Structure 1
Amino acid sequence: MATLSVPHDIVSEILRRLGVKDLLRFKCISKAWCSLIDDPDFAKLHLSHSLKTGTNLSLVPRGLDGGLLSVELDSLKRARRLKHPLESYGDKFADLLGSCNGLLALMSRRDEISLWNPSTRKSRTFPAAAVEISRGRPRRGFVVYGFGYDPISDDYKLLQMAQYYFSNDDSIKSEVKVYSSSSNCWRRIQDFNFYLKYKLVHGVYANNALHFVVSRMRRSEPLVAAFDLGTEEFCLLELPDCLGTGFSLNVRAMGGCISLTVYYYLGVHVWDVHDTEIWVMKEYGVRESWTKLISVKQSEFIWGFNYVLPLAFSNNADKVLMYVDKNKFMWSGNVGRESRNYLINKEAEKEREMAWKLGKRRC
């Protein structure tokens, strides 16, 4: 019986709509299918389709034991443990330096870095770059990273920024190095002339650049700096021109665009947050394209929140999933208008609210 021959283009169109697990199984069907699925061009088509349709999206939170989990965004109920390649070094904990196109950049406590694809389980492990700042005796310092993809050179890059404070808080030294996946080596580039505001927050990848919250002076107003992965140069990103006063910033990536979270606070304590705004830059680099998505206010139901962090859009982009304060997740609906907030773990929040009210009465 004659077999039906399906054109190569049609096979490619069908396969790129499948999940990664199915593709890995279908590599065994024939040499032609295996060659097609392993083709880098097919991988780019499959990735592009997944990003457009919002399929195969997952969150990677940290478990109670310090390990990494994968949680499907559509349900937030199905989670699986990720056994990353750095566990072979005897350390379950791994710092997530960044993610891009399904790849994770991880770092162990022994300063070993791994670029890992959880779907294919392929990885590359290499040591972090040595910090060469040695002159003087710094009071304190820290190192942050950023991971992203440069489509011009077709290269994945990892940014390492070391910053040290000396006797005067306004006196710093910085050192910037870039790891290239194509050359598999580190190299030193221009220094960074701004103050990093957060020592535990790595760069956020969006629009072919890595973004950090910075300031010109140690205690001056917050700004957003962008590191272009193509030119390997830093620049400042213009903020919305209608922000108020007394706020701090957080930068995220939402739907492929850069997102800004603005925390307004009262009094002298920066953790007394009473209002949070989430902005998205619809056209990258254009200040006028900043659009306010949501304004979340402190309420009697969501009492005493000090920290709100947007994570992702829903599949139809009408809601935003947010991390609220201590291990709570919330969908905020009516994007672009007055927000309606839905706590996912409502029972836990009610118990916490009652405990807080009882404690307040006893005082």
Structure 2
Amino acid sequence: MATLSVPHDIVSEILHRLGVNDLLRFKCVSKAWCSLIDDPDFAKLHLSHSLKAGTNLSLVPRGLDGGLLSVELHSLKRVRRLKHPLESYHDKFADLLGSCNGLLALMSRRDEISLWNPSTRKSRMFPAAAVEISRGRLRRGFVVYGFGYDRISDDYKLLQMAQYYFSNDDSIKSEVKVYSSSSNCWRRIQDFNFYIKYKLVHGVLANNALHFVVSRMRRSEPLVAAFDLGTEEFRLLELPDCLGTGFSLNVRALGGYLSLTVSYYLGVHVWDVHDTEIWVMKEYGVRESWTKLISIKQSEFILGFNYVLPLAFSNNADKVLLYVDRNKFMWYDLRSRRVENERDLGGVPRFQGVEMLVVSLVAL
């Protein structure tokens, strides 16, 4: 029987619609298939299809013990523990610095950083940049990170921002460095002279920029700062013009949009949440494009929540998956304005922080 020859572009069109596990097995079919699947351009095509179709998505929560889990997004089932490259016999801790194109940026207690693809199990290891701030009488401080891909330079970048301050006034010293995967080195860039509000929250990637909640003074109203991965410059984004007073902010990426969670408080404590609004910026950088997507009153929906963060849209975009406090997920129906299917991850210990991950073939 004569061998049937299928054109290369047809083979590529078929294969890029498959899952990563299948593709890794199919590398054994022939040298041509192996070469195709290992091609960086094929990895980009496969990633683009997954992102457009909303497939191959999972959640990666970090447990309070520092271990990482993987949870299928739409079913919230198939929970499994991830064995990451920073894990040792004595210590499985990994801080989640960010997620982008199927890669996770992780950090160990020993300041080792790994850019890791859990699907292909390939990683790159390097040390965090040394902080060179002359502290003097500056006793308090912290370091936050942000991870993303710059489409213009075709480069993955990791942002490191160190900030130290006095405990009794508004004086600060900051230091900003950027790691480039293409050059495999750190370099110092301009300083950042706004106060970073949350020392345990890393940058949120949306629209080719990393976003942080900041303020002009430590106790002033919160703002949103964006670090452009292309120009490597900071800018402030304008907030919706109809916000009230006495609120806190959180930023997330939601369906390709920058998302803003506004939590209003009745009292001075974080557990006195009264109302939560979730906004999306439909046209990036345009203040008038902020659109209120969800408004939740604690008395009507969720008893005793401290915070709510949006994670993803459903397949037909009529629901939003919400992450509530430290161990609960729920779907919010945008049509009925009701919460559905509140659930925690049965048998899974409490966790702190969660990232979205798309399964991909991307390599550094």
Give the distance between the partners of 1:202 and 1:218, measured in 2 at CA: 18
Question: Counterpart in 2 of 1:358?
Answer: none
Deviation string, structure 1 residues 158-205 (Cα, Å, up to 9, x no partner): 000000012543000000000000000000000001100000000001
Question: Counterpart in 2 of 1:46?
Answer: 46
Question: Counterpart in 2 of 1:221?
Answer: 221
Looking at secondary structure, tell me which structure has more strand per residue.
2
Partner of 1:302, secondary structure, is: coil
Give the distance between the partners of 1:73 and 1:321, measured in 2 at CA: 9
2:340 alignment partner AA: Y
Normalised TM-score (structure 2): 0.92
Q: Aligned in 2, Cα 1:111/1:64: closer, same or farther, shift over 3 Å?
A: closer
Deviation string, structure 1 residues 310-354 (Cα, Å, up to 9, x no partner): 1111111111111122412111112xx5620124239x9xxxxxx
Question: Counterpart in 2 of 1:180?
Answer: 180
Moved more, 59-68 or 21-30: 59-68
Question: Counterpart in 2 of 1:19?
Answer: 19
Matched, 1:202 2:202: yes
Q: Aligned in 2, Cα 1:49/1:90: closer, same or farther, shift over 3 Å?
A: same
Moved more, 133-142 or 256-265: 133-142
Deviation string, structure 1 residues 245-286 (Cα, Å, up to 9, x no partner): 111100000011110000011123343111101011111111
Cα root mean square deviation, aligned: 1.7
Question: Counterpart in 2 of 1:212?
Answer: 212
- Map 1:29-44; keep pairs closer than 5 Å: 29-44=29-44
Question: Counterpart in 1 of 2:339?
Answer: 341
Question: Counterpart in 2 of 1:312?
Answer: 312
- Contact kept in structure 1, 2:322 and 2:329, CA below 8 Å: yes
Question: Counterpart in 1 of 2:263?
Answer: 263
Note the C-alpha offset of 1:80: 1.4
Moved more, 232-241 or 324-333: 324-333
- Contact kept in structure 1, 2:162 and 2:175, CA below 8 Å: yes
- Contact kept in structure 2, 1:140 and 1:166, CA below 8 Å: yes
Deviation string, structure 1 residues 41-96 (Cα, Å, up to 9, x no partner): 11111101000000000000124643101100021011111100001474201000
Q: Aligned in 2, Cα 1:317/1:340: closer, same or farther, shift over 3 Å?
A: same
Deviation string, structure 1 residues 110-157 (Cα, Å, up to 9, x no partner): 000000000000000000000001241212000000000001110000
Give the distance between the partners of 2:196 and 2:303, measured in 1 at CA: 30
Give the distance between the partners of 1:333 and 1:135, measured in 2 at CA: 50
- Contact kept in structure 1, 2:60 and 2:68, CA below 8 Å: yes
Moved more, 170-179 or 81-90: 81-90
Give the distance between the partners of 1:290 and 1:189, measured in 2 at CA: 31
2:339 alignment partner AA: N
Looking at secondary structure, tell me which structure has more helix per residue.
1
Give the distance between the partners of 1:58 and 1:52, measured in 2 at CA: 15
- Give the percent of matched residue pairs that are identical in Structure 1 and Structure 2: 90
Question: Counterpart in 2 of 1:68?
Answer: 68
Computing the radius of gyration over CA atoms, which structure comes out larger, 1 or 2?
1
Give the distance between the partners of 1:167 and 1:247, measured in 2 at CA: 23
Partner of 1:345, secondary structure, is: strand
Matched, 1:327 2:327: yes
Matched, 1:131 2:131: yes
Partner of 2:46, secondary structure, is: helix
- Contact kept in structure 2, 1:295 and 1:338, CA below 8 Å: no
- Contact kept in structure 2, 1:60 and 1:68, CA below 8 Å: yes
Note the C-alpha offset of 1:36: 0.8
Matched, 1:230 2:242: no
Question: Counterpart in 2 of 1:360?
Answer: none
Give the distance between the partners of 1:326 and 1:86, measured in 2 at CA: 24
Question: Counterpart in 2 of 1:144?
Answer: 144
- Report which structure shows greater RCO (CA 8 Å, sep ≥6): 2
- Contact kept in structure 2, 1:294 and 1:338, CA below 8 Å: no
Q: Aligned in 2, Cα 1:13/1:240: closer, same or farther, shift over 3 Å?
A: same
1:320 alignment partner AA: V
Moved more, 310-319 or 48-57: 310-319
2:342 alignment partner AA: I
- Contact kept in structure 2, 1:328 and 1:343, CA below 8 Å: no
- Contact kept in structure 2, 1:58 and 1:72, CA below 8 Å: yes
Question: Counterpart in 1 of 2:285?
Answer: 285
1:121 alignment partner AA: R
Matched, 1:93 2:97: no
Matched, 1:9 2:9: yes
Give the distance between the partners of 1:224 and 1:239, measured in 2 at CA: 8
- Contact kept in structure 1, 2:140 and 2:167, CA below 8 Å: no
Moved more, 337-346 or 40-49: 337-346
Question: Counterpart in 1 of 2:252?
Answer: 252
Give the distance between the partners of 2:105 and 2:136, measured in 1 at CA: 32
